[in-house]
């Protein structure tokens, strides 16, 4: 299978981190279903043009988190994700986005008060739709 992970060339993050974050998100949100057989390490690395060392690290990390399971001789499969994890993960995605927003506002010199006002305004607009 081909996994929709894409390396962002303008990202400052290390390769393994980018791949790991995207793959984790695909699994936790259920976009890649439980039981799916992932590509072999060599296949996935050729697909993403990175080294097998990077992919092995990603698979190992996610296996340690309980998201993947490796069966000797058959390959790496997506494990079952429990509901609490899924909820926690959804929240984390939004928390990260809010942090990013905060950083961006800071970099253009927006004050907390200005940001709060802008947020309120945007939310009101959204409600009126």
Partner 1 sequence: MENTVLEWKDIVKKRDRMVLGPVSLKLQENYVTALIGRNGSGKSTLIKLAAQLIHPDEGEVMWFGQSYPHGLPAEVRSAIAYVPENFVSEEDGLKMDDVAEFRAAWYSNWDWQRYEELLHRFEVPGGKKLNKLSKGQRRKFEIAAALAIRPKLLLLDEPSSGLDPFAWKTMMNEIRRCVEEDGATVLLSTHIVEEIKRMADYLILIDKGRSLGLLEKDTLLDRVREVWIARDDELLAELPGIVDSALESENLSRFVTLDYVGAAALMEEAGIKPIRVRTLDLDEAMEYWMNGSISSV
CB 48 within 8 Å of CB 57: no
The residues that touch partner 1, with contacts defined as CB under 8 A, are: 9-12, 14-16, 40, 42-43, 45-46, 49-54, 103, 106-107
CB 97 to partner 1: min, Å:
16
CB 66 within 8 Å of CB 79: yes
Total Cβ atoms within 10 A of residue 25: 15
Measured from the CB atom, the residue of 91 and 106 that comes closer to partner 1 is 106
CB 18 to partner 1: min, Å:
10
Whose tokens are 């009101």? That residue is 124
CB 122 to partner 1: min, Å:
22
Structure tokens at 67: 């998201």
Measured from the CB atom, the residue of 114 and 120 that comes closer to partner 1 is 114
């Amino acid at each position: 299978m081909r996994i929709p992970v894409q390396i962002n060339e303008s990202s400052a993050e290390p390769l393994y981190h980018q791949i790991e974050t995207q793959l984790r998100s695909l699994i936790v949100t259920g976009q890649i279903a439980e039981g799916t057989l992932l590509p072999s390490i060599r296949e996935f690395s050729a697909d993403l043009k990175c080294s097998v060392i990077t992919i092995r690290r990603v698979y190992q990390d996610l296996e340690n988190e309980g998201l993947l399971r490796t069966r000797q001789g058959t390959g790496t499969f997506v494990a079952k994700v429990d509901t609490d994890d899924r909820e926690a993960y959804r929240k984390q995605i939004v928390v990260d986005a809010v942090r990013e927003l905060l950083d961006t506002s800071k970099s253009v010199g927006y004050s907390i008060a200005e940001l709060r006002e802008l947020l309120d305004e945007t939310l009101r607009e959204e409600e009126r739709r």
